[in-house]
Amino acid sequence: MGIIKIGTRESQLAVWQATLVQTLLSKQHIQSELKYIKSDGDIDLVTPLYALGVQGVFTKTLDAALLSNKIDIAVHSMKDVPTQLAKGILQAAVLPRASYQDILVFKKNTDFLSDPQSNAVIATSSIRRKAQWLHRYPNHTIENLRGNVNTRLQKVADNEWHGAIFAAAGLERIALRPEQSIHLDWMLPAPAQGAIVIVCREKDTETYQKINQLNDFDTDLCTKIERDFLQTLMGGCSTPISALATVERDEVYLKGNITSPDGKLQFSIEKKKPLAHAATIGLEAGAELLQTDAKKIIESIHHAKQ
């Protein structure tokens, strides 16, 4: 039996995720080793993600390593993965989801959140987080914040910002969540936020069968629904589209929205369906939003990119 080569980015969080997969495989008596790959998204820490044409910026280097047989599987934060996988690459498993929530790491206190006249400065490189924040706090200023979670936390400490927005799962997985942080219960997450996905080569059926044993049905279904919603709205990582699907008893609940980059417009949708018939709910919700003025936001974003 060959040793499965696991491709990972070099950041602490990426290595943690790859090591988790290695541990899960060892419990199935499958040997593996880590292979470190530097991605374009890790090299350029200055340009805002939405200016990089960000779809796939953290995954394409691993895709290339996978397709050239340098690695056998790649491990990703699923929210970083384009809705259309590279040709020849197959989703093999989605692990049970951690927290899907966003959190605010604040510097001194959160008094500015309850002051409608405050002119706080908040840091994030995510256009989705920026749009939702400005929708709720139109007086605030958003600063760009790039880098791995360690780098971003250090930048928060070094700057005079009021706070910065992070994914809870990223900080909690590597035990870096500061005490001075709060859940943003009102903020809808990125599609598939908090989930880890493992991909392999399409033709490598032996590896696929081994990895697929790790697949979590509920997380797989919910993240597919959220990504279907994103793809239907022609969105990627650089569009302010949010979605969350959850399984409750025998039903699936979906909440989704799209917000203009300046935060002034927001269109939301909620749907629920019996679990047995829920596979298409993301496609349906996206199609319904496209029948509203939400499509004007999409058209303006596409026009701005040309």
Q: Are residues 27 and 72 in the same domain?
A: yes
d(CA 171, CA 178) in angstroms, rounded, equals: 8
102 is annotated as an active-site residue: no
CATH code for the domain in which residue 295 is found: 3.30.160.40
Q: Are residues 280 and 167 in the same domain?
A: no
Number of domains in the chain: 3
CATH code for the domain in which residue 137 is found: 3.40.190.10
Q: Are residues 34 and 84 in the same domain?
A: yes
pLDDT in tens, 114-129: 998 899 999 998 999 9
Q: What is the pTM (predicted TM-score) of this model?
A: 0.90
Q: Are residues 113 and 235 in the same domain?
A: no
Q: Are residues 93 and 111 in the same domain?
A: no
- Domain with 132, as residue range(s), is 102-183
Give the start-end residues of each E strand in the chain. 4-8, 32-36, 73-77, 89-94, 102-106, 121-123, 141-143, 163-167, 181-183, 196-201, 241-248, 251-259, 266-274
Q: Are residues 156 and 44 in the same domain?
A: no
Find the catalytic residue in 80, 102, 220, 228.
80
Give the residue-averaged pLDDT of 281-298.
Answer: 95
Q: Are residues 205 and 177 in the same domain?
A: no
Q: Are residues 273 and 242 in the same domain?
A: yes
Q: Is residue 210 part of a domain?
A: yes
Q: Cα angle vertex 98, ends 103, 75, to 5°? A: 110
Residues linked to residue 271 through DSSP beta bridges, in sequence order:
254
Q: What is the pLDDT of residue 287?
A: 96
Give the mean pLDDT of the chain. Answer: 91
Q: What is the pLDDT of residue 93?
A: 98
Q: Is residue 63 part of a domain?
A: yes
Q: Is residue 168 part of a domain?
A: yes
Q: Is residue 26 within a helix (H) or strand (E), and if so which, with residue range?
A: helix 12-27
Q: What is the pLDDT of residue 258?
A: 97
